[in-house]
Structure 1
Amino acid sequence: MKKYTIKDIAKLADVSKGTVDRVIHKRGKVSTKALEKVNAVLNEIDYKPNLLARSLKNTKEYHICVVLPDYKEDSFWLPCYEGIQEAINEFASFGVFIEPFLFNPNDVASFVTVNNKVLKLSPNAVLLTPLFYKETIKIATSYAASNIIVSKFNNQLEIENTTNFVGQDLFKSGRVAASLMKIIVPNNSNIAIIHIDEDFNNAIHMQEKEKGFRAYFNELKESNYQITTYGFKNIDLKEKINHVLNLNKNLVGIFVTTSKTYSVAEFTKGKDIKIIGYDLLNENIRYLKSNHIDFLIHQNPKKQVYLGLTYLVEHLLFNKKIPAKSLLPIDIVNTENLETYLEN
């Protein structure tokens, strides 16, 4: 007999998982229509409440904090926040309290302040976006000293006192971008790598992507690609891009290492320059559809945070071992397969 999850029931009833949770556990308000739809499905599948979840909730509760950049400052992080809300609804009946904490992605001090706040709460575990390398090392040590489990997502840092990482292999991600670039630009072309809005020396994710990109071209036999790296602030990007274009008339390809690919596309419209970047932000999708961006590498941030939380929940509830590393596929998106990703 199939075991139905709240997610399965929500899909069958065409309602949210939170609605199903409220119906099953008889808490909160639910519309009459939604109640009837959920109950119809429950009757059809002969659903039995999860007694294990109820017994766990009655014996012990767990607290997991998620520290991530504020999606109001950078829309890349909005799917992560949505993934957290899904996890909150999914695991509430197990006595697991999941709480998000947002920091300014452009402010190191904000990152430190938020983590110190979380540290004082003494949660059982923390799922962390290690955006700033040096500061992450210090805060991970502090968490470990307080016996707080630390997991990472999105930014692949090899540091002590952390349990696991969920995300993509960023070095290989850079190599994938390079292999795509080689296909769409002439041999031995001039190519730019552009980092936007972050301190490159403290941002390992950008370093790894660049290393992978350069490594691919360095391994090509009898090639003479000219690759130049630039680091820009978004606030003066137009001026900087125009300077690069005037300085390098033969530039034919740009690799943007962050989700702000649309910012580069905006200022290169009308130029025959191929652009490869990251993430399915609405702005990026618009430029992809208009062929001003050629490829986007989808990092699936929502799945990253949800999977990271699932590992922590299963460890706390069932003592299940957390994998040291969980690498997600490196998805390549263009105009031909974009709709399939938007549908999902």
Structure 2
Amino acid sequence: MKKYTIKDIAQLAGVSKGTVDRVLHKRGKVSEIALEKVTKILNEIEYKPNPIAKNLKINKIYKLAVILPDAQKDSYWEPCSGAIKEVENEFQHFGIEINKFVFDASETSSFLETSLNVITTKPDAILMVPLFQKEAKEIVTKCNINNIKVSVFNNYIDSNYSNNFIGQDLYQSGRVAAKLMDMVLKKGTIGIVHIDEDYQNATHLQEKEKGFRSYFNSLNTLDYDITTIHLNYKKSESFNNSLLSFLDKNPNINGIFVTISKSYVVVEALKERASDIAIVGYDLVKKNIDYLKQGEIDFLIHQKPKQQVYMGLSYLAEYFLFDKEIPSQLLLPLDIVTSENVDGYLM
């Protein structure tokens, strides 16, 4: 296919090069007649602009901010830094600047303060984890007012606030966890364990529990009882006592579904007594992997935080550089990890 220059288009349309330039870059005034002539030729030759050349010429720096929980306090988020580095390297010659901001995932005020500070840096876009729904909506509203594009990952947020989500179907992941538990137990009492987060403000926990319960409700059987507990791990001794007390009150529990990445703390608490409780949880943090290999955890569902951040930032970069549309929702597969296949995820 022939490459047409502005000079070629001007000659074909019978107008000046300046007129073609103004039409292509949508700047300055152009008469209706001239606009029709140029547009007709552009359609005939199926003209497509070169986005790379365009952005090199503009020489603009696009600032992307990533807001996520502090990996020093929750190792689930550690792989995200690697994803940020990868995207920085891939787009280093195209004027993409990425800055990471972290907050304490156990403190709503930390999320709010960090996010407000990010807005003051005036980024072009923010990729964030809306861990706290109420506060996240406030932040997205402020971003919209300040013309800052927002994409979210890992957790849902109401589509009225942000219509760009990368992550997993959390409801379906709860159903998958239930199916795995059903395969192991066949019958019994199951405890759903939520750790550290404000359940009423945590849509991701709610969706996982809804999916889990939905699966067993659909079985139409009396073979299972399901009960829920909310625990705080800030003090491990208090956590252990609370969990063991919960088990004392529910002595028939033979399965536990842990809705976040801290399955290992449940395993460690259970070491204080002899038990044969099946555990299904999330995420390939080191201690979870160790206990999975030892048979203390039966299954883990891999949420792929690194892939979520990599894709989220890549989509934002390509949106600004090349005018590519960002998918409103990108759902990643639900990978079931066992002691037999976990090494393949660690390569």
Interval containing the TM-score (normalised by the shorter chain): 0.7 to 0.9
8 Å contact from structure 1 (residues 149, 163) kept in 2: no
CA distance in 2, matches of 1:266, 1:159: 39
Determine the structure 2 residue equivalent to 1:195.
Answer: 194
Q: Please tell me whether residue 288 in structure 1 is matched to residue 292 in structure 2.
A: yes
Q: Which moved more, 1:302-311 or 1:114-123?
A: 114-123
Q: Deviations over 1:236-259 (max 9, x none)?
A: 210011102211221100000000
1:222 Cα deviation (Å)?
A: 2.9
8 Å contact from structure 2 (residues 205, 259) kept in 1: yes
Determine the structure 1 residue equivalent to 2:10.
Answer: none
What SS does the corresponding residue of 1:253 show, helix, strand or coil? Answer: strand
Of 237, 240, 248, 2:239 maps to 237
Determine the structure 2 residue equivalent to 1:68.
Answer: 68
Alpha-carbon RMSD: 1.6
Paired residue type of 1:238: N
Q: TM-score, normalised by structure 1?
A: 0.82
Query: For residues 57 and 297 of structure 1, do their structure 2 counterparts lie closer, same or farther at Cα, with a shift above 3 Å needed?
Result: farther
4+ residue runs of structure 1 moved beyond 6 angstroms? none
Please show how residues 130-209 of structure 1 align to structure 2 within 5 Å: 130-187=130-187, 189-209=188-208
Of 313, 316, 321, 1:312 maps to 316
Paired residue type of 1:62: Y
8 Å contact from structure 2 (residues 55, 321) kept in 1: no
1:54 Cα deviation (Å)?
A: 9.9
CA distance in 2, matches of 1:169, 1:254: 21
Of 328, 336, 339, 1:332 maps to 336
8 Å contact from structure 1 (residues 57, 95) kept in 2: no
CA distance in 1, matches of 2:93, 2:57: 7
8 Å contact from structure 1 (residues 259, 281) kept in 2: yes
1:162 Cα deviation (Å)?
A: 1.5
Q: Which moved more, 1:145-154 or 1:58-67?
A: 58-67
Determine the structure 2 residue equivalent to 1:251.
Answer: 253
Determine the structure 2 residue equivalent to 1:264.
Answer: 266
8 Å contact from structure 2 (residues 65, 100) kept in 1: yes
Determine the structure 2 residue equivalent to 1:59.
Answer: 59
CA distance in 2, matches of 1:295, 1:57: 52
Q: Deviations over 1:41-82 (max 9, x none)?
A: xxxxxxxxxx93796276211000000011111111111122
What SS does the corresponding residue of 2:276 show, helix, strand or coil? Answer: coil
1:266 Cα deviation (Å)?
A: 1.0
Paired residue type of 1:338: V
Paired residue type of 1:136: A
Query: For residues 120 and 191 of structure 1, do their structure 2 counterparts lie closer, same or farther at Cα, with a shift above 3 Å needed?
Result: same
User: Which 5+ residue runs of structure 2 have no aligned equivalent?
Assistant: 1-50
Q: Deviations over 1:129-181 (max 9, x none)?
A: 10000001111000001111000000022242314000000000000000000
CA distance in 1, matches of 2:245, 2:53: 60
Number of equivalent positions: 293
CA distance in 2, matches of 1:103, 1:54: 37
CA distance in 1, matches of 2:178, 2:256: 10
Paired residue type of 2:266: V
Determine the structure 2 residue equivalent to 1:300.
Answer: 304
Paired residue type of 1:324: S
Q: TM-score, normalised by structure 2?
A: 0.82
CA distance in 2, matches of 1:232, 1:165: 28
CA distance in 2, matches of 1:109, 1:57: 42
CA distance in 2, matches of 1:57, 1:99: 24
Asked which structure has the greater CA Rg, the reply is: 2
8 Å contact from structure 1 (residues 53, 94) kept in 2: no
